Amino acid sequence: MEDPMLSQLAYWLRKPGFQVMEETPRLALFRLGLLAIAMMIVGRSSWWIVLSLFAAYRIMRTEFAQRARKTIKRDLTGLFLLIRVKREITKRLNANRPIHEIWLERVREHPLKEAAVEIETGRSMNYRELNQLMNKYANYFASQGYKHGDVVALFMENNIDFFALWLGLSKIGVVSAFINSNLKLEPLGHSINVSKCKSVITTSSLLPTLEKTKAQGLIDKDLKAFVNNGDVEKAENLEKSIEGANEEEPHKCAEVDFQSVLCYIYTSGTTGNPKPAVIKHFRYYWMAMGAGEAFGIKHEDRVYITMPVYHSAAGILGVGSTITRGTTIVIRKKFSASNFWKDAIAHGCTCSQYIGELCRYLLAQKPTPEEKQHKIRMMWGNGLRGEIWPEFTSRFGIERVGELYGSTEGNSNIVNIDNHVGSCGFFPIYPFISSLYPVRLVRIDEETGQLIRDQNGLAIPCKPGETGEMIGLIKKKDVLLRFEGYVDKGDTAKKIYRDVIQKGDQVFASGDILHWDELGYLYFKDRRGDTFRWKGENVSTTEVEGILQPLKSIVDCTVYGVEIGKHEGRAGMAALQLIDGCDLQDLLTDAAHRFTANLASYAIPVFIRVCNEVEKTGTYKLKKTDLQKAGFDLAKVNNDPIFFFNSAEKKYVELTPELQRQIDSGEYTRI
């Protein structure tokens, strides 16, 4: 009878990657001779021991074993990190206390420690003062009839009040909707309406944008508006309203626990306008705590926040460090490359966040003494390209880069825990544990973006060395692997694949394409479908296309992302098919006007291509893949004119070969 242990061993030895490294025939014969002698010496009853030892030796000589030796330290570090995170989140799930009660633990630990600073205003608050401000907001809104389940939209720039408002409102069970402060008109109106909010809190500088949206009938003209401070005509001044409010803890809201809805954070998906993703208390804590554990954030750290707090990067991973680690956050209203290192020195910052564009902007600055005098030891975020990673860390003296991958609404994340250049995380390469890992890569058709399925209708998992779409397994009984989705259940359904790993299963479809190398490291490559990333923001092609819909001179329009030189992400490009006799200059003027009036600056197409002859799909759509391959290269567009958006003059100008060369080389920087 065949020994089952030896059978299993033989099975793995036949697996790809387990082939023994090359050796000479003489050496192979010598080893076989030693094996035969050993078996003769020990006797038949102990052959299995000799064979097992020989098999182990041969396994250690395989390509797989060589790779495993290079990654074992990383994999063990990742395992211990996972155990710590799981243990902490399990403890919190068992306690079932909402995040504002976890915040109070930090307040009791160091009430007089500085909690938050605003750079532009110099405003500073310690933990006790900040908690008292939160309580004032909570008690005031409770006195105005706000209660558990109500929603308030926060349409604000970076400031202390943004943090104090959403965490204060959570104490009375009110959900906050984090609205992108760059939005205008239709996208802004949609974001507010879909949240079903009872009121909007904004700032005096953003109030005119809100009022213009109301004036055009895009949101209810009677929707209550507040500003955090400042006397204005059409909104209530909260700073004055809360002057007499109670600063003690509000009455405990019994309906709120660790699994309640905390806030909505918007993500630009593949189906049009921004969609509010549901963030529950435990998910916020899990993301912030996990980042702190992975990247070694300490309670004495001072975290410099320059990215918008309405996004999960700054709003959860940055601001959340106060709740999970007890840090001090230093908040700048808007990123400034020229002031970055000056701010870091002035405020003693030790950590900061980044997106790839931010890193490139810093490298583009002329060298200054401050870039070597700061105390920032670690920066974490996403999008730092491998091509500039070494230069960035060496020039600015950054000891550690915490590159990560994840999505606001997704159910799984990966992190780079060992500073491996260009990687956003890793999967262990051991094939026998893949079934235990909640995140996978699966093969897709490069042309259609659809999953490639086998003869049984299941997706085909990627192997090391391959590229595919990131998916996260959904397990409804495991709170950490649920997909909470969006406010709109229809949007949620569109992000779920079925029958992927096995019949009847469900997975979260990230839409992101990653490469898995032979050592298990993962590298972000692209976004699938109708979304691309530019200047650190997701841009919905459907949303941009919709802005041009009213222009009757356009027969067809498709929007896509194109690579520009060394820039991170993809810039927007619109390909248009026009009616005969169209006045091209009038069209370009109208397009520029509509884009600037309705879109955030990062969503405005950088290029417009006017197609004379177009190839269409079977459903009469412009073939996006061919258009993307041609990009804005004048030599590849069949003599179609291309126009470039001049952001200073807010108009489209014709792209010339010289301007194309300057853009490609990086000489032209005003993009």
Given a cut of 60, is residue 61 above it in pLDDT? yes
What is residue 163's predicted lDDT score, i.e. its pLDDT?
A: 97
Strands across the sheet with 224-227, in order? 236-237, 224-227, 199-202, 151-155, 175-178, 261-267, 275-280
Q: In the predicted model, is pLDDT for residue 282 greater than 90?
A: yes
**Could you count the other beta carbons within 10 Å of the beta carbon of residue 346?**
14
pLDDT in the model for residue 35: 61
Strands 151-155 and 175-178: parallel
Q: Tokens for 440? A: 């996978």
User: Rounded CA gap, 112 and 424, in Å?
Assistant: 37
Whether 381 and 359 have beta carbons less than 8 Å apart is answered as: no
Residue 272 is predicted with a pLDDT of 56
Going by C-alpha positions, the residue among 596, 559, 588 that lies closest to residue 655 is 588
* Average pLDDT for 314-334: 96
Task: Report whether pLDDT(411) > 90.
Answer: no
Q: Which residue matches tokens 């189906």?
A: 271
For residues 89-108, average pLDDT: 96
| Cβ proximity of 309 and 332 under 8 Å | no
pLDDT tens per residue, range 426-453: 988 776 666 667 888 999 886 667 889 9
- 265 band by pLDDT with thresholds 50, 70 and 90: very high
How crowded is residue 81: how many other Cβ atoms within 10 Å of its Cβ?
15
Tell me, what's the pLDDT at 544?
87
Burial of 112 (0-12, 13-18, 19+ CB in 10 A): exposed
User: Dmax of the chain from CA atoms?
Assistant: 98
Global model pTM greater than 0.85: no
> Which of the pair, 124 or 49, is modelled with greater confidence?
124
> What whole-number distance in Å separates Cα of residue 311 and Cα of residue 118?
18
**Among 60-74, 213-227, 512-526, 576-590, which stretch is predicted with the lowest mean pLDDT?**
60-74
